[in-house]
Amino acid sequence: MGGILNFISEHDESKSVLETRLYNGAKYSIFQSSAILDFLYHNIENEDISITYNYVAKPNASNIFLIECQRELRDIICEPDYIIELYTRYKDNLNVKFLVTSISEATPYIDLFENEFLSFCETNNINSNKFIFVDSNYKINDLKKIKHYFIPHFIYDGAWFLKTIIDSSDSHFNELNYKPSIPSEFETKNNVNRQYHIISLNRSNWKIHRTLLGCYFNQIKSDKLLWSFLNKPNQVHKTNSSGKMDYYQESTTYLRELFENNISELDSLWPKEIDTQLVDDKFSFRTSDTFNKKNSLTAYFDLVTESCFINDQIFFTEKIVKPITNLHPFIVVSTKGYLYNLKKLGFKTFDTIFDESYDDIEDNFERLEFIIRQVDSLLNKSTDEIQQMYNSVLDICLYNRNVLYTKYSKKNEHIYNLLKEVEIKW
């Protein structure tokens, strides 16, 4: 990096934050060990990275106190006494700054957070310039008043697994007890008669968009659709004060009826599995390396149900890596502008075969209903029509996987580059 970037731990060395993977902020579980701490664990021997303990800052070095948020960047405002205490400790030391990250989850309404944080600083006489923020929400790029960086961590993470499979450098069993595998270009071109038009992988179905899609899948009972549904939605969506589905007022008439007509039967279907039969815990397994070419070669297209749908985050997770890796064209259920911003990362989408105007629809539930109508149309097409659609965009699928492999697959490069930029711009 050039100089020395030192990370300050509040723990003593006998309880090394690296060895035990403690979060910095042991008093508060709201702060967890995450991607950057994992990077430090594997790179602490690097000559330009170091760590000191017991709150000690290193002389003649750029010192970082790392705070990795579990839910969103607002976590630091939720623990004001802790942040004020830390700031007071280092406020006069020009060589200490706070690196606050939310990588495992994207901060919603991040433009509002910027103003909330600055107000917090003004109220508590805090210099906001001592804080650097990192988030997985692409919209952090729009902020003007605080120091910030964007990291599409899960794209890098999934791309690294793609690389290990292509390079045959890893033959590990994933947490679902099978070895990850991806289809080659030859296998893709020669598997032309596929059983399913669409595959849709769903795990945490307590989110309303996945529950509604589950209701839709249950209602149509199409033999051209392969889908998973791994946890029970009923208790989440029918225990609010109205006794109706979440977001009942915001939803459309079609989606309300879809929910009411199918939620009970959907509730009895779970778990509906594709590749999780070998594990008992079907909810907490790691998903970044769950590539299975046997399954991917049975379908032409992916319906991706991203993590974010209701709020305004643009959050790229391992879910979009799946179709890119498996050479599938995709439709994405997420927030407005998801596809627009995905293209900024170098990927192409499929507006020649899908009506991607859904990406511009402001209303969340109107956008979801639009997508469902389009999926309905795809499932009702003949296999010949679907094959022609797929073949017409296979070059885009190959292009996207090549971008993933060449641009994003070097392990932890994004974190190293982030820390390098922080140190250079100190």
Q: Name the amino acid, one letter, at 54.
A: N
Pick the CATH number of 155-408 from 3.90.550, 2.40.128, 1.10.357, 3.40.50: 3.40.50
Q: What are phi and psi of 106, to 5 degrees?
A: -95, 140
Q: How many CB atoms lie within 10 A of CB 306?
A: 20
For residue 361, give both structure tokens. Answer: 């629809």
State whether residue 65 is helix, strand or coil.
Answer: strand
158 within 8 A of 403, measured Cβ to Cβ:
no
For residue 275, give both structure tokens. Answer: 């590749």
- Structure confidence at residue 243 (pLDDT): 60
334-377 residue pLDDT tens: 999 999 999 999 999 999 999 999 999 999 999 999 999 999 99
- Residue with the bigger pLDDT between 117 and 49: it is 117
- pTM, rounded to two decimals: 0.94
Per-residue pLDDT averaged across 63-89, rounded? 94
167 within 8 A of 136, measured Cβ to Cβ:
no
* Whole-number average pLDDT of the chain: 92
105-137 residue pLDDT tens: 999 999 999 999 999 999 999 999 999 999 999
Q: What are phi and psi of 51, to 5 degrees?
A: -140, 140
Q: What are phi and psi of 198, to 5 degrees?
A: -135, 140
The Cα–Cα gap between 135 and 133 comes to 7
Where do the domains of the chain lie? 5-151, 155-408
For residue 204, give both structure tokens. Answer: 């945490």
CB-based contacts of 81: which residues, under 8 Å, 6+ apart? none
Q: What are phi and psi of 206, to 5 degrees?
A: -70, -15
DSSP label of 106:
P
